Amino acid sequence: MEASVARARRRTELGLVLLSAGITVAAYVLASIGEKASMPARIIPFLAFVLLLVIGAHAVVRVVARGADPLLLPMAAFLHGIGFVMIARLSDRWAGLQATWSLVGVVAFTATLFVLERPGDLRRWQWTSLGLGLFLLLMPMIPGVGFTSGGARIWVSIGPVNFQPGEFAKILLTVFFAAYLAERRDLIVQTDRKVMGIALPDVRHLAPIGLAWVVSVVVMVGERDLGSSLLFFTLFVVMLWIATERTAFLVLGLALFASGAVIAHQLFSHVQTRVDIWLNPWDQYTGRGYQPIQALFAMANGGLTGTGLGLGSPGAIPAAHNDFIFAALGEELGLLGAVAILSAFVLLVGAGMRTTLRAQGEFEKLLAVGLTTIAAVQTFIIVGGVLRVVPLTGVTLPFMSYGGSSLVANYVLLAMLIRVSDHTSQTLHEVPRDATPLERFTTWRLKRAAR
Amino acid sequence: MNQRIRHLTVALIALFAVLFVQLTTWQVVRRDRLVNDGRNNRVKLREFDRPRGEIVTIDGKVIALTEPVDLAANPNDKFNLQRTYPHGDTYAHVTGYYSLGFGSTQLERTMNDVLVGKTPQQLLEATGSLLSKTDTTGRVVTTIDSRIQEAAKAALGDREGSVVVLNPSTGAVLAMYSNPSFDPNLAASHNGNTVNDYLNQLQADTRKPLLANAYQERYMPGSTMKIVTTAVGFDTGLLTLDRKFKNERAWVPPDTKKPIRNYGQKLCGGDVAEVFRRSCNIPFARLAVEVGPDQMVNGAARFGFEERVPFDLPAAAASTFGGLAKDFADSLALLAIHGFGQGQVQISPLHMAMISASVANGGRMMQPHVVDRTLTHAGSVITSARQQSWKTTMSPTTAATLTQLMIGVVQNGTAACCMKLNNGVSAAAKTGTAQLNPEGETQRSHAWITAFAPAQAPRYAIAVFIKGVNDEVSASTGGRLAGPVAKKVLDVAMSLPESPAPSP
pLDDT in tens, B242-301: 999 999 999 998 888 888 888 888 899 999 999 999 999 999 999 999 999 999 999 999
CB pair distance less than 8 Å for A241 and B28: no
| A12 interfacial to chain B (CB closer than 8 Å) | no
pLDDT score of B130: 54
Query: Does the pLDDT of residue B44 top 80, yes or no?
Result: no
Q: In B, residues 78-107, which contact A (CB 8 Å cutoff)?
A: 78
Catalytic amino acids of B?
A: 223
CB pair distance less than 8 Å for B1 and A349: no
CB pair distance less than 8 Å for B4 and A242: yes
Residue B39 Cα, gap to closest chain A Cα (Å)? 9
Cα–Cα distance for residue pair B282/B262, rounded to 1 Å: 6
Cα-Cα-Cα-Cα torsion A334, A340, A342, A345, nearest 10 degrees, comes to -150
Residues A275 and A390: beta-carbon distance below 8 Å: no
Residues B82 and B188: beta-carbon distance below 8 Å: yes
Cα–Cα distance for residue pair B80/B73, rounded to 1 Å: 13
Give the confidence band of B473 by pLDDT, cuts at 50, 70, 90: confident
Residues A355 and A368: beta-carbon distance below 8 Å: yes
Residues B56 and B141: beta-carbon distance below 8 Å: yes
Residues of A in contact with B22 (CB under 8 A): 384, 387-389
pLDDT < 50 positions in chain A: none
pLDDT score of B504: 40
Give the amino acid at B163: V
Residues B39 and A285: beta-carbon distance below 8 Å: yes
Q: At what angle do helices A247-267 and A269-279 cross, to 10 degrees?
A: 100
Query: Does the pLDDT of residue B133 top 80, yes or no?
Result: no
| B36 interfacial to chain A (CB closer than 8 Å) | no
Residue B61 Cα, gap to closest chain A Cα (Å)? 28
Query: Does the pLDDT of residue B503 top 60, yes or no?
Result: no
Among candidates A238, A245, A293 on the partner chain, residue whose Cβ is nearest the Cβ of B1:
A245
Dihedral sign computed on CA atoms, order A288, A293, A298, A304: positive
CB pair distance less than 8 Å for A339 and B23: yes
* DSSP H or E stretch at residue A157: strand A152-158
Query: Does the pLDDT of residue B502 top 50, yes or no?
Result: no
Residues of B in contact with A377 (CB under 8 A): 12, 15
Query: How many CB atoms neighbour CB A146 within 10 A?
Result: 18
| B7 interfacial to chain A (CB closer than 8 Å) | no
pLDDT score of B275: 93
Among candidates B5, B31, B39 on the partner chain, residue whose Cβ is nearest the Cβ of A356:
B5
Q: Which of A43, A189, A240, A301 to substitute to test the interface with B, most B CBs within 10 Å?
A: A301
Give the amino acid at B440: G
| B250 interfacial to chain A (CB closer than 8 Å) | no
Cα–Cα distance for residue pair A34/A265, rounded to 1 Å: 44
CB pair distance less than 8 Å for B42 and A383: no
Residues B53 and B139: beta-carbon distance below 8 Å: yes
* B395 burial type by CB count under 10 A (0-12 exposed, 13-18 middle, 19+ buried): middle
- Please name every residue paired with B447 in a beta bridge, in sequence order, or none if there are none: B433, B466
Q: Is A433 helix (H, G, I), strand (E, B) or coil?
A: coil
Give the confidence band of B482 by pLDDT, cuts at 50, 70, 90: very high
Strands A161-163 and B460-466 come out as unpaired
Residues A392 and A386: beta-carbon distance below 8 Å: yes
Residues B248 and B269: beta-carbon distance below 8 Å: yes
Residues A381 and A398: beta-carbon distance below 8 Å: no
Give the amino acid at A413: L
Among candidates B5, B20, B27 on the partner chain, residue whose Cβ is nearest the Cβ of A357:
B5
CB pair distance less than 8 Å for B24 and A335: yes
A128 Cβ neighbours under 8 A, 6+ residues apart: none
- Please name every residue paired with B231 in a beta bridge, in sequence order, or none if there are none: none
Backbone phi, psi, residue B320, to 5°:
-140, 140
* DSSP H or E stretch at residue B453: strand B445-453
Q: In B, residues 39-78, which contact A (CB 8 Å cutoff)?
A: 39-40, 42-43, 45-46, 78
Residue contacts between A and B (CB atoms, under 8 Å): 118
Dihedral sign computed on CA atoms, order B197, B203, B209, B212: positive
Strands B55-56 and B260-261 come out as unpaired
Cα distances (angstroms) measured from residue A56 to each of A8, A18, A62, A77: 18, 11, 10, 12
Cα–Cα distance for residue pair A100/A96, rounded to 1 Å: 6
The B55-56 sheet, strands edge to edge: B81-84, B62-68, B55-56, B139-142, B371-375, B381-384
Cα–Cα distance for residue pair B43/B113, rounded to 1 Å: 15
Closest residue, chain B, to A298 (C-alpha): B42
| A381 interfacial to chain B (CB closer than 8 Å) | no
Cα–Cα distance for residue pair A128/B485, rounded to 1 Å: 94
Cα distances (angstroms) measured from residue A166 to each of A21, A140, A291, A370, A382: 30, 9, 25, 16, 16
CB pair distance less than 8 Å for A243 and B1: yes
Residues A241 and A250: beta-carbon distance below 8 Å: yes
Cα–Cα distance for residue pair B154/B150, rounded to 1 Å: 6
Cα distances (angstroms) measured from residue B193 to each of A155, A315, B109, B110, B233: 37, 21, 22, 26, 56
Q: Which of B2, B3, B5 to substitute to test the interface with A, most A CBs within 10 Å?
A: B5
Query: Does the pLDDT of residue B204 top 60, yes or no?
Result: yes
Angle at B146 between CA B142 and CA B151, to 5 degrees: 135
Among candidates A330, A345, A384 on the partner chain, residue whose Cβ is nearest the Cβ of B27:
A330
Residues A31 and A87: beta-carbon distance below 8 Å: no
CB pair distance less than 8 Å for A376 and B42: no
Q: What is the pTM of this model?
A: 0.65
CB pair distance less than 8 Å for A313 and B1: no
Query: Does the pLDDT of residue B425 top 60, yes or no?
Result: yes
CB pair distance less than 8 Å for A380 and B45: no
CB pair distance less than 8 Å for B42 and A312: yes
Q: Which of B2, B3, B23 to substitute to test the interface with A, most A CBs within 10 Å?
A: B23
Least confident of A361-370, B71-80, B92-101: B71-80
The length of chain A in residues reads 451
Cα–Cα distance for residue pair B79/B243, rounded to 1 Å: 69
Cα–Cα distance for residue pair B283/B245, rounded to 1 Å: 6
Residues of B in contact with A245 (CB under 8 A): 1, 3-4
Residues A146 and A156: beta-carbon distance below 8 Å: yes
